[in-house]
């Protein structure tokens, strides 16, 4: 009960922050994460693989600097770090996940998380990540900084390639065309299959269904 009371107490400020960062879509996402997703539902997403050997040359927009976030004070991210996210970010960082932040001067305008594993505590999907793959966990950018997303993902995948990874996996909603187009811009990518999840309160089940052959992501988003 205390957790839900804390959630309700921070919702007004987090809702305002979500609106400033993402507008209507950001607000709806915040409401969904705090309410609908906790209760349950069904969702089906795409499993996307990206070839790290063919990363495109994508520079950050003029005036934007991308670098790993190495502090423990998430309030430095301003509106990008809602109260709801702080415990999750603390745990992710403690488990070795890497957060890249895009800064315009001293203001955070985007972030992206990368992981060497897929964990049910964060993803709620039972997927086994290949040994040579990194996982793109979360990507969020300000609604006025759309060009930052591709640069953030590319920077994180370049770091992963330097560490010896050959590919990346990402779970994306089939209706999120903007994200799918961004990933296709970064490097050649393919849809390997779909992962579905059913949740009813604390009960969660997920399953993966692979395609008979991968589908190029560019072909999918160009339909």
For 4, 18, 31, 33, the CA distances from 15, given in Å and listed in that order, are 16, 5, 8, 11
Least confident of 47-51, 79-83, 131-135, 166-170: 79-83
Is residue 3 pLDDT above 50, yes or no? no
124 or 75, which is more confident: 75
pLDDT at res. 26: 84
Q: Report CA 206 to chain centroid distance, whole Å.
A: 19
Is residue 99 pLDDT above 70, yes or no? yes
pLDDT at res. 212: 95
pLDDT at res. 25: 86
Q: Which residues, 6 or more positions from 80, have their beta carbon under 8 angstroms from its beta carbon?
A: 17, 21, 101, 108, 109, 110, 111, 140, 142
Is residue 158 pLDDT above 70, yes or no? yes
From edge to edge, which strands make up the β-sheet containing 189-200? 64-68, 98-104, 107-115, 133-141, 167-172, 40-51, 189-200, 203-216
- What is the rounded CA–CA span in Å between residue 17 and residue 71? 21
- What is the rounded CA–CA span in Å between residue 3 and residue 122? 17
For 72, 79, 114, 202, the CA distances from 21, given in Å and listed in that order, are 21, 7, 21, 30
Mean pLDDT of the chain: 89
Across 122-126, average pLDDT: 65
Is residue 5 pLDDT above 50, yes or no? no
pLDDT at res. 2: 37
pLDDT at res. 139: 93
Across 106-129, average pLDDT: 85
7 or 150, which is more confident: 150
pLDDT at res. 163: 96
Delineate the domains of the chain, giving CATH numbers in brackets: 41-221 (3.40.630.30)
Least confident of 15-19, 79-83, 201-205, 206-210: 201-205
pLDDT at res. 123: 64
Residue 158: Cβ-neighbour burial (10 angstroms; 0-12, 13-18, 19+): middle
Q: What is the DSSP letter of 52?
A: G
Collapsed DSSP state (helix, strand, coil) of residue 69:
coil
Across 127-140, average pLDDT: 93
Q: Rounded to two decimals, what is the model's pTM?
A: 0.88
The answer to whether residues 109 and 141 touch, using CB atoms and an 8 Å cutoff, is yes
pLDDT digits (tens, 9 = 90+) for 9-47: 788 888 899 899 988 888 888 888 777 677 778 889 999
Strand partners, 216: 190
């Amino acid at each position: 009960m205390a957790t839900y009371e804390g959630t309700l107490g921070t919702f007004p400020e987090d809702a305002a922050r979500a609106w400033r960062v993402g507008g209507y879509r950001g607000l709806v996402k915040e409401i969904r994460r705090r309410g609908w997703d906790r209760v349950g539902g069904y969702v089906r997403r795409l499993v996307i693989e990206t070839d790290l050997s063919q990363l495109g040359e994508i520079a950050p927009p003029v005036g934007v600097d991308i670098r790993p976030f190495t502090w423990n004070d998430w309030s430095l991210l301003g509106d990008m770090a809602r109260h709801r996210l702080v415990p999750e970010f603390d745990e992710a960082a403690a488990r070795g996940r890497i957060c890249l932040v895009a800064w315009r001067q001293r203001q955070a305008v985007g972030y992206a998380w990368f992981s060497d594993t897929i964990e049910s505590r964060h993803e709620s999907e039972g997927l086994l990540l290949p040994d040579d793959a990194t996982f793109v966990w979360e990507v969020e950018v300000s609604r006025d900084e759309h060009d930052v997303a591709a640069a953030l993902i590319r920077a994180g995948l370049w770091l992963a390639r330097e560490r010896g990874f050959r590919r990346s996996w990402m779970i994306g909603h089939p209706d999120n065309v903007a994200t799918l187009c961004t990933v296709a811009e970064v490097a050649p990518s393919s849809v390997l299959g779909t992962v579905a999840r059913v949740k009813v309160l604390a009960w969660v089940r997920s399953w993966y269904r692979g395609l008979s052959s991968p589908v190029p992501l560019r072909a999918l988003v160009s339909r």
